[in-house]
Chains A and B, each alone.
Chain A
Amino acid sequence: MKVIVQEAAFDPWKEVCEYQEEHIGAGKHGASVTFIGSMRDFNDGVEGLSNMYLDHYPGMTEKHIERVCQDALDKWDVMDAFVIHRVGDISPNDAIVLVAVWSEHRAMAFDACRFIINDLKHRAPFWKREANEQGERWVEGNTVDEVADQHSDMAKRAS
């Protein structure tokens, strides 16, 4: 498992390939699920976003994501998890976050990847500040993952 919080831009596809080659091994996994979050040039009715600043709590951020990844590895039968998250100045189309999970079968990798990114979006201490020609503003909340909520409701009804 590896968690990186960095200012530098990164190519998520290259990072996934390199990590897989180094840590997973050929022929060892049957499924890999990758989530990549990128910066849009619009958000919440605001158009023409020119850049964004991503603030974070150094130390707590890494600690929190590492714990969530470990929780995912403990909860599902997955082989490994890899996360990269940008901080600092970000431009439209830049990758902000990469979550990659490997397992023998797809269901475990899908569930673990969704678990990690949803926790990261709602609990990991990052804050977006968006800028356009009119000025800057702190983003006030993340979108809800409706499918995850449906799964949670279904699980509650079934129990």
Chain B
Amino acid sequence: MKIAVKYFASMRDTMGKADESVEISENASVSDLWSSVAESSMPENTLIAVNMEYTDAAHALQDGDEVAFFPPVTGG
């Protein structure tokens, strides 16, 4: 299945890109997706959103999902 992946702020710097399209096997989780795009383990404070809703690394993905990885937020 195809997943759209986005990276923001320092995560974009670390990954060297703002977004990418990833092909991944059926029943993959966010954690599986991370393993397929990154060489090291996910930083402990990473926030995850699937289709613009906060979730966690165990979240099961579906074809066409948009997944975002980003550091703690600092707005306001």
A56 with B75: in contact, given A125-B49, A127-B70 (CB under 8 Å)? yes
CB pair B75 A128 closer than 8 Å: yes
Distance in angstroms from B15 CB to nearest chain A CB is 14
CB pair A57 B49 closer than 8 Å: yes
Size band of the interface chain A makes with B = 20 to 34
What is the total of A-B residue contacts with beta carbons within 8 Å? 75
CB pair B52 A138 closer than 8 Å: no
Residue of B49, B70, B73 with most partner-chain A CB within 10 A: B73
Chain B residue total in the interface (Cβ 8 A): 17
A127 with B52: in contact, given A121-B75, A142-B76 (CB under 8 Å)? no
A140 with B76: in contact, given A57-B52, A125-B49 (CB under 8 Å)? no
CB pair A120 B76 closer than 8 Å: yes
Distance in angstroms from A98 CB to nearest chain B CB is 11
CB pair A125 B76 closer than 8 Å: no
- In the complex, which residues of chain A have a beta carbon less than 8 angstroms from the beta carbon of B49? 57, 60, 125
Distance in angstroms from B55 CB to nearest chain A CB is 12
Partner of B75 from the list A59, A63, A120, A140 (CB cut-off 8 Å) is A120
Near A by CB (< 8 A), chain B positions 50-76 give 52, 54, 68, 70-76
Residue of A57, A85, A122, A142 with most partner-chain B CB within 10 A: A57
State whether the Cβ of A4 lies closer than 8 Å to any Cβ in chain B.
no
